Amino acid sequence: MAETFGIIDANNFYVSCERVFQPALETKPVVVLSNNDGNIIARSNEAKSLGITMGMPFFKAEPIIEKNDVTTFSSNYALYGDMSRRVMDTIDQFVPALEHYSIDEAFVHLDRKTSEQDAHKIRNTVKKWTGIPVSIGIAPTKVLAKIANSIAKKNPKAGGVIDLSGADADKYLKDFDVADIWGIGRRYAQFLKSEEKGNNPQLDLWEASGFERMREKLKIETALDLKNCDDKWLRKHLTVKGQRIAWELRGISCLPLELFEKPKKGLCCSRSFGQGIKTIEDLRQAVAMHAARAGEKLRRQNLAATHLTVFISTSSFRLNPDEIYSASASRQMLIPTSYSPAILENAYSLLERIYKPGFEYRKAGIFLSDITFDNAKQQSFFLKVDEKKQTGLMQAVDKINGRFGRHTVRPLAMGFDHKWKMKQEKLSSRYTTRLNEIPNVRA
């Protein structure tokens, strides 16, 4: 029997998290900024209607923000991560299967007969227990459920839930912009909507012999257009992914629920700096921090990595090409490891290879790949490591940092005077994860 999918998606999630702890902001315009207070990454509906767009650089939005008294927050991932866990735990109690798709979205299976009532129950409970408002889309496939969800968000009358399982889905699809379909990005949307003949010599001949020419591009504007699109054409221009989307629009499920977290294939720690830095000493500190973070991430998932890449770059917004430089170097380590000092040592020597004086660097990072499970890793014949000691040391470090906050224990190499540290001028408290930042309530 066909399944029924639901997608449960928090409304303006980061903004909603902030509002839970500052209810006075409920009807006010609010935005949340990316790391380094660079771009706008979440907006309340009030902020959206002021014309603040997703991804807008903060300095460009600043005039609107000043003028309309928009409340602004630096991003507080400790808070959002914890709120996300609460939302997911709540949903989990109501559904037979849940895929934790992103920090603010879960795909679920629903009982077809009671899906709509169940959705309302989930929505109300999540709001009551966590304070976070969510919208729910229901449909026989994930792509359709995403569309239902997006319609639910835009129509206050829907009460936060739209069910597209009925036979009249086309009624919605014909008004749904192809650009807003899950899996269709800017490039594909532009391509689909264009109407050009392209340059196919075969078709030239065809046309020359008096037949009407088939178009290379088709002017596909809506979800309904894409649903009715020719499979071969789609496969050719949008690869199998495009074809799957069309099938999903037709109600044929191609994308199952992913119930188990797949082990990561690569792991990246990088950050741009609050200000430009020039010396290799400062870069070393930043790289040391990323090495420590990367080790921590690996250990938390019981993974180990063999391949290490270090990269540094200047700002890409520089106008003078002489001031732009970016480079990376990588190496295969001898054995898969999650031992921070080993990652650090390798990262340092890679950094030496790519550093060039005379540039103002804006970003550094490391990337780990060739990732295996820690207990399955292959030992090197040549390298004898006292693994027990290393594991013990890292466990102690992780435990202390978990209890007292990140970087309580850290490599000395990280230094103390962090010129490169990220800009976070409007950070809210970690209300839910730090005892000394728990809110006080006067009753």
Partner DNA sequence: TCTGGGGTCCTAGGACCC
Per annotation, catalytic residue among 18, 105, 248, 296 = 105
Helix (DSSP H) and strand (DSSP E) numbers for the chain = 14, 12
Half-sphere exposure of 267 (CA within 13 A, CB side): 27
Contact characters 141-160, DNA, x per CB under 7 A: -----x--------------
Among 67, 157, 232, 262, binds DNA (CB under 7 A): 262
Q: Is 248 a catalytic residue?
A: no
Secondary structure class of 439 (helix, strand, coil): coil
Contact in structure between 315 and 360 (CB atoms under 8 Å): yes
Contact between 241 and DNA by CB under 7 A: the answer reads: yes
User: Least Å distance between CB 2 and DNA?
Assistant: 22
Nearer to DNA, 207 or 325 (CB): 325
How far is residue 164's CA from residue 172's CA, in Å, rounded to a whole number?
Answer: 9
How far is residue 161's CA from residue 240's CA, in Å, rounded to a whole number?
Answer: 30
| Secondary structure (DSSP) of 280-328 | HHHHHHHHHHHHHHHHHHHHHTTEEEEEEEEEEEE-TT-SSGGG--EEE
Among 32, 365, 397, 420, binds DNA (CB under 7 A): 365
Range 177-196, binding DNA (CB under 7 A) = 181-189
User: Least Å distance between CB 424 and DNA?
Assistant: 11
Contact between 201 and DNA by CB under 7 A: the answer reads: no
User: Least Å distance between CB 265 and DNA?
Assistant: 4
Among 256, 266, 392, 402, binds DNA (CB under 7 A): 266
Which are the contacts of 52, defined by CB distance < 8 A and separation ≥ 6? 29, 31, 40, 43, 61, 64, 65, 70
Among 16, 39, 115, 165, binds DNA (CB under 7 A): 39
Which are the contacts of 125, defined by CB distance < 8 A and separation ≥ 6? 90, 94
Contact between 426 and DNA by CB under 7 A: the answer reads: no
Range 83-122, binding DNA (CB under 7 A) = 101-105
* Structure-block tokens of residue 190: 């532009």
Q: Which stretch in 37-45, 65-73, 123-131, 425-433 sits in contact with DNA by CB under 7 A?
A: 37-45
User: Least Å distance between CB 57 and DNA?
Assistant: 4
How far is residue 182's CA from residue 87's CA, in Å, rounded to a whole number?
Answer: 22
Residues that bind DNA (CB under 7 A): 34-36, 38-39, 41, 55, 57-59, 101-105, 146, 181-189, 239-241, 262, 264-272, 276, 297, 315, 317, 362-363, 365, 422
Catalytic residue positions?
105
